[in-house]
Amino acid sequence: MKVDFIFKAFAAIFSVIVVLFLLFAFTETVLPDNSYTVEITGLPGPAANGTATVMVPIPANVTGEPVIPEEALVGDRVAGWQAAVRETPYGKMLAFTATEGYAPDVSVSFEVLQTEDESQRLPRYQRPTNLTAWEMKREPRLLMPVLATPDNVSVAEFIRVSNGTYTTVVFLDGFAPPPEDAAGITFSLEYRGVGGTKRLIRENTWTTTVNAVVQGTESDFVLVTAEYRVIAGGIGF
């Protein structure tokens, strides 16, 4: 009899724990976010009386629209550099311009959480045309510009694959010629776009990485390889 009572008590406690866990899981919300880390090392010094500039790809959706607000990218967060978003023949890129007579390494991370706004509570036909956080969560994104894809498929087609490599571009200008035995300039770029989680449904995560070494004698646009990957979402406990 006592054993039966203990078993029932244990079952009741376990049931309460399960209910609380499910309640927490169904109400937990992880909003979508975008993070971008830029590291550039081995830069030679700026040329005499010149302005040294280096540009890297920018996280964007398939149409080329940046997914991190411009105001979060620009400014003087990196010592010795002024960051700005510039239009180029290939599309928008993130530019760093040296503000001193030297070119220190660039190391900076950007992270923006897509906050859910009040318009999401409105009926769909009353919402503004711009995408809200949860309407953006399924939107694939990668580092742009994209100059070439495998088999020359469109960006819209390529971005639907689970993984692959494509060609993007970096830019160098205004640097003094380095010594012949210089190791080269290293670009380490990593973008991560998280779709978020709502009511146990975890959306996709998109990542793009660039790990390239460019000779310091290069000037102008330089093609580099980017690796794109989709981490599939699903039911998340």
Length of the chain: 237
Contact 119, 132 (CB under 8 A): yes
Same domain, 25 and 35: no
What percent of the chain is modeled with pLDDT above 90? 40
- How far is Cα 203 from Cα 64, in angstroms, rounded to an integer? 21
For the chain, the domain total comes to: 2
Same domain, 146 and 227: yes
> What pLDDT digit, counting tens, does each position of 40-63 carry?
999 988 876 668 999 999 999 888
The residue among 12 and 92 whose pLDDT is bigger is 92
Pairing of strands 91-98, 53-56: antiparallel
- Identify the pLDDT of residue 158: 92
| Helix (H) or strand (E) segment spanning residue 11 | helix 2-27
- How far is Cα 205 from Cα 230, in angstroms, rounded to an integer? 6
Strand partners, 155: none
Same domain, 147 and 120: yes
> What pLDDT digit, counting tens, does each position of 108-152 carry?
999 887 655 444 444 444 444 444 444 455 678 899 999 999 999
Same domain, 20 and 79: no
Same domain, 92 and 25: no
Same domain, 67 and 133: yes
Half-sphere exposure of 56 (CA within 13 A, CB side): 30
**What average pLDDT does range 160-178 have in this prediction?**
89
φ/ψ of residue 128, rounded to 5: -65, 160
Same domain, 2 and 99: no
Same domain, 137 and 217: yes
Same domain, 136 and 206: yes
- Its domain, for residue 9, covers 1-29
- Identify the pLDDT of residue 233: 59
- Identify the pLDDT of residue 176: 82
